[in-house]
Amino acid sequence: MPLDQITKTTRQTKIPPLSKGEIEALTGASPEIVRITRPRIRQAVINIRNMPDSPYVQHAFSEKQRKQMEETQRAGQQARGKKNRAPKEFEAIYEAAKHKSKQGWIGIPASAFRNAAIDVCRMVGFKMTFAKLSIFAVADGIDAADGTPLVRIHGEPHISELPVRNASGVADIRWRPMWNEWSAAVRVEWDEDQFSAQDVYNLFSRAGWHVGIGEGRPNSPNSNGLGWGRFEVVE
């Protein structure tokens, strides 16, 4: 009997409607077909350390810089006439360049590891668009200033004082925190339907060798880098 006829008969006699199972039994409907499986999410800790002679240099966008930009944009046309330049406080700039957590420790943006793993996929023939949806670095905490998810870095920073040229071509001096020796324990989550555990391990090994993290990394978008921020996976 057709489904519409069964429904019509039920309404006319005012009896309780048939259940889904009864209708399927009468109509011969096939059981539901499942084409999409649930994600199989795995998590592991990957221990890394810097490669020899490859320091990590950090440059957080400071709260002071954000406020200055906001004030300039609020002032609009009036800001163009202001050319007073305050003296640089190099020590304060150095401290502001660190990503500090609410607990006080310094961390590396978790996105740096995720981006490195995604970027290196192009070298092994894996679709970067799939990797974007399949692998993540789990944060140990967040930046107290801007909420950036952070992975804790182990090591002692010192001042890196380097001459640079701004985008305008004007020479400048930059103070940045530099770690000559550093390590981290990166918690990684991934979809096992896309990557095996060995895939993830190999991906991070390649990301550390080819891509790197932080300022002056080999995969820097604005230059060929300085060889900084390269790391190796600790067995």
Q: 9-19, pLDDT tens digit by residue? A: 444 546 677 67
Lowest mean pLDDT among 16-25, 100-109, 182-191: 16-25
* Same domain for 55 and 4: no
* Same domain for 109 and 217: yes
Q: Could you give the CA distance from residue 77 to residue 44 in angstroms, rounded to a whole number?
A: 52
In a domain, 81, yes or no: no
In a domain, 65, yes or no: no
* Same domain for 146 and 179: yes
Number of domains in the chain: 2
Q: Tell me the HSE value of 175 on the side-chain side, using a 13 A CA sphere.
A: 14
Helices (H) and strands (E) in the chain, counts: 7, 10
* Same domain for 227 and 133: yes
CB atoms under 10 Å from CB of 175, counted, come to: 19
* Same domain for 14 and 45: no
In a domain, 223, yes or no: yes
What mean pLDDT is predicted for residues 160-174?
A: 77
* Same domain for 6 and 56: no
What percentage of the chain exceeds 90 in pLDDT?
A: 55
What confidence tens digit (pLDDT) does each residue in 188-213 have? Answer: 999 999 999 999 999 999 999 999 99
- The domain containing residue 150 runs over which residues? 37-60+97-233
Start-to-end Cα distance in the chain? 66
CB within 8 A of 146, min separation 6: which ones? 61, 63, 66
Whether pLDDT at 66 is above 60: no
The per-residue pLDDT for 6 is 39
Whether pLDDT at 2 is above 50: no
The per-residue pLDDT for 25 is 63
Helix-strand-coil split of the chain, %, nearest 5: 35, 25, 40
In a domain, 192, yes or no: yes
* Same domain for 104 and 23: no
